[in-house]
Amino acid sequence: MSGRFISLEGGEGVGKSTQAKALAVALRERGLDVVETREPGGSAGAEAIRSLLLHDHHWPPEAEALLFAAARAQLVAEALTPRLDAGETIVLDRFVDSSLAYQGAGRALAMDDVRRLSRWATGGLRPDLTVLLDVDPELGLERARAAGHGRDRVERESLEFHQRVRDGFLALADAAPDHYLVVDAGGHPETVATLIRIAAAKRLASRVGAPPPVGATAADRPGKSPRWRARRARSRHGATVAPVPPTATPVPPVGAASTPADEVPENAR
C-alpha cells in the first residue's frame, strides 16, 4: 500500500471543508493523485447513514457512536482501502478523532469504549498526519451561523458541549504531538491554508517521503494493523468515492509556497 492519508479535524466552524479543498489543490500541484472526501459519508452506504445522523431524531449517545462507526466502516471498505492500495492520496474531512472528541469528550461516553469501537470499524487504519484546526467554540459557532450552517442537531448543542469537544481534540493532540499538526484557525483562510501547506509538506516528507527500511514491504507500513491488512485483502477494488458537495465558502487560492518547508510558522506545530 503506497497511498498517503491526511485527515482534518476540529469543531464547528473551523473551516475544515475549505482547508481540505485547499490542501488537495496544493498536493495535486506537487504531482500527487489526490481524492478529497468527508465523514460521515464519502461512499454510497456511508452517505445513507449520514442522512440518519444529521436528522433531528434524538439518538442516545451509544446509538450515535454506533452509527458513526458504521458509516466509518463503510467508508474504509468502499473507498479508503481501494484508493490507498492504488497509491492515491486521501484528504479526509473528519475521521476517528471526531468520534473520540464528540462522542467521548462531548457526550461523556467512556473514551476507551469509543476508541475500541472505532478501531474495530476501521481495522486499525490511521492517517499519516492529522491536521487539527483549532478555534474558540464561540467564534466557530458564530462562523457556522454566518455561513448559513448551525441548523443540524450537533451544531445546536450547548456552548459547554462544544468546549468539551475542543478540549477533547486538544488532549488527543497533546498526547501524540508527532502525529498532529495543530493550527490556529482563527486567522484568514488563505493564511491558514499556507500554514497547513508548509507544515504538511514538511511532515509528509519526514513521515512518508523517506525510503522504507531495507527488506520492508508495503504491508509493513506503520499505522496499518493486521486486521486492516486482512480487510484490505477482501476489499472491493474499484469502489468510487462520493464527491464532496460544494460549500458556500470559496476555496482560497493556493500558490507555490514562498517559505521554505523547514521554516514552519510558530502557530503551526
Residue written as grid cell 478523532: 97
Look at 144 and 226; give whichever has higher pLDDT: 144
pLDDT, residue 117, reads: 97
Q: Please say if the pLDDT value at position 6 is more than 90.
A: yes
Q: Cα dihedral angle (117, 182, 153, 90), rounded to 10 degrees?
A: -60
What residues pair up with 134 in beta bridges, in sequence order? 184
In tens, the pLDDT along 239-256 reads 444 444 444 333 343 333
Rounded to an integer, what distance in angstroms lies between the CA atom of residue 231 and that of residue 236?
A: 10
pLDDT, residue 54, reads: 77
Going along the chain from its start, the domains and CATH numbers come out as 4-233 (3.40.50.300)
Q: Name the grid cell of 47.
A: 452517505
pLDDT, residue 264, reads: 40
Judge if the upstream peptide bond of residue 40 is cis by omega within 30 degrees of 0: yes
* Helical H segments across the chain, by residue range: 16-29, 44-53, 61-75, 81-85, 96-99, 111-122, 137-146, 159-175, 189-207, 226-233
The pTM assigned to this predicted structure is: 0.77
Residue written as grid cell 508495503: 218
Radius of gyration of the chain (CA): 18
pLDDT, residue 156, reads: 87
pLDDT band at 233 (very low <50, low <70, confident <90, very high): low
Residue 27 amino acid letter: L
Torsion sign across C-alpha atoms 190, 192, 195, 200: negative
**CB 222: neighbour CB atoms within 10 A?**
10
In tens, the pLDDT along 54-107 reads 776 889 999 999 999 999 999 999 999 999 999 999 999 999 999 999 999 999
Q: What is the DSSP letter of 80?
A: I
pLDDT, residue 183, reads: 94
For residue 189, the number of C-alpha atoms closer than 13 Å in the C-beta half-sphere is 18
pLDDT, residue 126, reads: 95
Q: Cα dihedral angle (23, 261, 221, 37), rounded to 10 degrees?
A: 0
Largest alpha-carbon pair distance within the chain?
A: 54
In tens, the pLDDT along 29-67 reads 989 999 999 999 998 889 999 888 877 688 999 999 999
In tens, the pLDDT along 136-195 reads 999 999 988 888 765 678 888 999 999 999 999 999 999 999 899 999 999 899 999 999
pLDDT, residue 151, reads: 67
